[in-house]
Amino acid sequence: MPNRPKQEALVEGRRDASAHGPAHHEGRREAGTPGPGLAASRSGDDTSLVGDDQVLDDARTAGSEVRYLNAQSSLLRFNERVLEEAIDATHPILEQVKFLAISHSNLDEFYEIHVSGLQNQREGTQIGTAGLLPDGSTPTEALELLIQELDGLLAKQEACWDELRLGLAAQGIHVLDLASLGDEQRQFVAAYFRREVFPVLTPLAVDPGHPFPHISHRSLSLMVALDHPKFGARFARVKVPNNLPRLVQVPVDDDDDAIHAPGEHRPIAFVWLEDVISSNLDALFPDVPVRACYPFRVTRDVDQDIRERDSDKLMDTVRDSLRERAWGAVVRLEIDPSMPGDLRSRLLQELDAETAIADVRPLPLGRSALFELVQVDRPDLKHAPFTPRVPAVLAPGESVFDAIRGRDILLHHPYDSFGPIVQLIEAAADDPDVLAIKQTLYRVGRRSPIIAALVRARRNGKQVAVLVELKARGDEESNIEWAETLEREGVHVAHGIVGLKTHCKATLVVRREGDGIRRYVHLATGNYNAATARLYTDFGYLTARPEFGEDMTNLFNSLTGYSRKERYNRILVSPGGWRRRLVELIDREMSHHARGEPGLIRIKVNGLTDTRLADLLYRASSAGVKVDLLVRGMCCLRPGVPGLSDNIRVVSLVGRFLEHSRVFHFRNGGDDEIYLGSADLMPRNLDRRIEAVFPVPDDGWRRDVMDCLDLWMRDTARLRELRPDGTYRRVRTGSPPGMPVEAQEVLIAKARAGG
């Protein structure tokens, strides 16, 4: 493989100050004003800066660089672990391709959120952010570190694609360059261009009469250099359409010795859409000689604050913010290595991208499009499918209300089907005894059976109240559409509490029964999204316990009205309640340990970046409490530091499914307590979101969750352990050679067996 040019250094220069405040998502700056229980200071933010001079001095002398890992660097390490799965040949090759595509998509998000956030902080565009990051570094130092780490990660991505492309070819799936096409294939490409592509394209000239066009976020474009017969050297931009397949299938000659497939499988071949366009540019510029064509790709800062100036017009505010987001500053410009330097400079100037990372990248750009290869019909090159288990009491035809009334039910998706949750809402919509349905919706997807059931419930005369979180990043437009759909049907739609995102996953069904009113509750760690429920691991809990029903009534009164209840019977609500209870639970483990009962804390979350919680866990470790943390992504806590975190182990599990559930286990002197919920251990979840965490009161289900924790922690196939220096190592011990424990596969086998 040829040497890959490194990312060019950050170009120092002017960048217009943002008019908006800070916002975080997955470590981002978060929108809004402090709500109940929020401190006005933002010094505990995931990537926020400490503004007070004395605090800065204290951070330096206390050795923040020893106590905490850099959050953004930690997130890059997560993407390294995703990429390792793409490299791991124990996966079928199309699953490897999927992991590679995910790693490219993750990096796009990393640039548009985390790199842009550090750039803004470095350049002082956010009020009160001058100072140090929680790990003791400055924004400039953090950016320099990330540039180095990104360069190595990008090189691994390219080497991985080179290997996978060869491996795919050996299996009869060929991704070809134009130069390798035969005459018939070239004729096909030309015909495809004329029929499918040419009508969609809009060439945009750049000259005094044609200003440089707006380049949209994540768009792939061609910079076309022309020799105009009258005006001389000119150039134009052609956008590669994002509504056409990026990989174009071309016919394959069975007699072609260079293209083959093993066994009974016919070979298939693809070319990149931008190559199809570049080979037919004469049709776009007739009688104007095309001198050269250079692909480039833009990543913009999408971390724009959604300003909640007037809660009565929040939907309009979100729409306005989405339009502004399209004009976010350019964070990264990916460039064809063959693009001349003067044209690169011109492009950076036209994009007002003096502070952007100019990233010279071998073609093709935008490789998250490799997801399209995963759709190839080759089941022999993918994981064997499995059908999620449906508990017998929730089988079709059974009464979901009878089942829940008989006993609490724990569902573990995707091993357990998401169908019973849809079944509950559909049954409630049609049951004449159901009086009301209340639900929170964060991400529901484009085609939602949940929405259809809620609409039907309203048409059937039920009281239906839904909290649709309009500020769910990436789903804002979809959620606006769902909110409008529900409002048109007469559903009571709330848009959230000003200053707080509503992230909890909750449903309440109120039903009239022979012995009075009964409330049925569903609480979960994941969204009401049937599609992601097949890909993400999450827990859902169904119960008719009166104390849960009362709690949910009070929670929805808070979400839709002016109630500010902070203490509940069983559930713990952020902001305020969950952080307080966490402190109590950790302190209790230390007290048990001091009395001779071994202290044990086990936590599974997606991210741990709250330094106050990290400090409390350090204190528990110093007191002798064993702390096992399963943290999928960002983790600022540094384990295994003598005298600080000797008793803390941090691991991460990356496998076939995205680990998304949040689980909290406290040994409690042998009377174990298990909590599930929607909250990670991040400042946004603890202080700036509405989250719901709930105990598992049923002894059997509590034991099942603890068994899952045991299984995850002894995985020897996909588990990585965090070292004190911030790097991860694979956990390959604890099983006989050749007999690894792969937690997700064990749970799949259990689901297949009906266990």
Give the DSSP H/E element, type plus range, for residue 705. Answer: helix 699-713
What does the alpha-carbon distance between residue 401 and residue 511 come to, in Å, rounded to a whole number?
9
User: How long, in residues, is the chain?
Assistant: 755
Dist. CA 108–CA 218, nearest whole Å: 8
- E-strand ranges in 160-302 read 173-175, 204-206, 220-228, 232-239, 247-250, 268-272, 290-300
Four-point Cα dihedral 556, 558, 562, 563, nearest 10: 120
How many whole angstroms from its chain centre is CA 223?
A: 32
Cα separation, 356 vs 121, whole angstroms: 14
**CA proximity to 168, closest of 372, 465, 327, 357:** 372
Of 174, 503, 593, 665, the catalytic one is 503
Radius of gyration of the chain (CA): 27
d(CA 11, CA 356): 7
CB under 8 Å, gap of 24 or more: what pairs does 643-646 form? 644/66, 644/67, 644/618, 645/617, 645/618, 645/621, 645/724, 646/621, 646/622
Dihedral Cα 561, 562, 563, 564, nearest 10 deg = 130
Burial (CB < 10 A; 0-12, 13-18, 19+), residue 746, is middle
State the Cα–Cα distance between residues 698 and 493, nearest whole angstrom: 33
Q: Are 165 and 175 in contact (CB under 8 A)?
A: yes
Catalytic, 260? Answer: no
Q: Could you give the residue numbers annotated as active site?
A: 503
